[in-house]
Amino acid sequence: MRIVFVTVCLCGWLLASTASAQSMGPQNGTLLIVGGGRMGKEIVQEFVDRAGGIDSPFVLVPGANAGEDWDEKYVAKSFLARAGAKDISVLHTRDRVIANSEEFVAPLRRAKGVWIDGGRQWRLADSYLGTRTHCELFCVLCRGGVIGGSSAGATIQGSYLVRGAPEGNTVMMAKGHEVGFGFLNCAAIDQHVIARKREDDLAEVLDTYPGLLGIGIDEGTAIVVTGRRFKVIGASQVVIHDRYWPKVADQKYELLSAGDEFDLCCRRKVQSSAMR
């Protein structure tokens, strides 16, 4: 498992800048990637259903936030608790030695749904990237589970980490903080894109790494990724930046709305299906 894990991570990063790279989600399991803001009932229900319902075991990962105390009050205020889930664990450390321990990752080995909270994505990378925890997150997907996240918890799921600079979230490309968890390969994921007028921001990243697929997700909106496809759900839109398929003159990006589906391999909007 360790060899496979390292290969997946390194390939996801090294291929990002090559002309032959191919974007792809998990072969098993699902990613639910939310652009921040308030989540509607449709997004919450999608996450719970993909995990097998409210009786399934869930894990919350709050580490993108600056705090250290994530007690029962934090769990009680979570959208999972409000949705009726009872089996909820919290996974948090800043210590990479602890993140590598068998005891720490135990909740992930039974989890069917993992939710990564918002905040600053560099904190997640510093704590977990390349650790046993990172490996076990991939295992959740391999077992058919779901990993979801909003804002920072969305961006960390891509292979290239945008806005990873500890000094501020306006820096798109930060040396030393450019690698995400790689659940969605060969992709850079941005958030709050329309609400914060960030529609053009991914262009800088793709100018440097043209093999990447740039996915900007607005607030209250999500993409549901399974294998080579994703569908859009929620209240707003998704912005696609792609150097593989140049758009018509003067069109810098493509907009997708709720109900639209996108083929990650062909990098094109496709006819909607009963995606599951």
Would you state the pLDDT for residue 244? 80
Q: What is the total count of domains within the chain? A: 1
Question: Is residue 275 included in any domain, yes or no?
Answer: no
In a domain, 276, yes or no: no
- Evaluate whether residue 71 is within a structural domain: yes
- Nearest CA to 146 out of 56, 65, 254 is that of 56
CATH of the domain at 121: 3.40.50.880
pLDDT value of position 275:
62
Ordered per-residue pLDDT tens for the chain, 276 residues = 443 444 344 444 444 443 446 899 999 999 999 999 999 999 999 999 999 999 999 999 999 999 888 989 999 999 999 999 999 999 999 999 999 999 999 999 999 999 999 999 999 999 999 999 999 999 999 999 999 999 999 999 999 999 999 999 999 999 999 999 999 999 999 999 999 999 999 999 999 999 999 999 999 999 999 999 999 999 999 999 998 876 655 678 999 999 999 999 999 999 876 666
Taking alpha carbons only, the member of 56, 116, 122 closest to residue 92 is 116
The pLDDT assigned to 272 comes to 74
Does residue 148 lie in a domain region? yes
Q: Is residue 52 part of a domain?
A: yes
Say which amino acid occupies 41. Answer: K
Helix axes 121-128 and 132-142, enclosed angle (nearest 10):
100
Report the residue count for the chain: 276
The range of the structural domain enclosing residue 239 comes to: 2-270
147 has which bridge partners? 31, 114
